[in-house]
Amino acid sequence: MAAGPASPRARYRTQVREEIKARAWEQIGTAGASGLSLNAIAKELGMSGPALYRYFAGRDDLITELVRDAYRDLAGTFRAAAGTGEGLAGLAHALRRWALADPQRYFLVYGTPVPGYRAPDDITGIAQEIMAALLDVCVADEEADDMAGGPGDPLVAHLAEHRGWAGDHPAPPAALRRALSFWTRLHGVLSLELAGHFTGMEFDPELLFGAELAGLTGKR
């Protein structure tokens, strides 16, 4: 049975929560996630601190909602990219577009951990959806031999016994190696670019990203 339309009260609550999250992103962009202040957000919205706590139980509750939104959005982005048939290149370019579109969102989930914050278990589940989409492509992309590793590759042998990070995905160890290589090398370039470490070095980070991707896939 389909749910009926939301009540005016429920719609108002949703609207206020979205406004609070929007102000939170503004704060994170200025002072980082560790500087997030619910009292400051309440003041900006013209409400008391206790009134805001009716919508979010505390700072960690608000951060969790922001992290959850970010991961869900990236998971959707990866699923859509995986469905294009463009393989690892499609995922890589989708990841870069997603990161450049909102660097603060990227750093909230892939940057320095927020002091004192621990994400709930359901966040791990959403993050594993992202990895599962990558692993699906790595299993299918058998041409990516440059990062597959041979039978004697010590990392492949290690991953055969250390695969908890992949959840229950049945990917063989060589595909796990492909996924880790993709994830670490491309995130490394993106993190340095978004943090401004390439500023003044007089080269195009997009070309560096493309070169790393070509090295990973063996396709130029």
| Residue pLDDT, tens place only, 84-108 | 999 999 999 999 999 999 999 999 9
Q: What is the pLDDT of residues 134-183, one digit of tens each?
A: 999 999 876 555 455 566 789 999 999 999 999 999 999 999 999 999 99
Mean pLDDT value across residues 191-197: 96
Is the pLDDT confidence value at 4 over 70? no
- The mean predicted confidence, pLDDT, of the chain is 90
Query: Nearest to residue 127, comparing CAs of 175, 70, 171, 194?
Result: 70
Altogether, the residues listed in the chain come to a count of 220
Cα separation of 11 and 31, whole Å?
30
- In this model, does residue 2 exceed pLDDT 60? no
Single-letter code of the amino acid located at 129: E
* Full-model pTM: 0.88
Single-letter residue type at 204: D
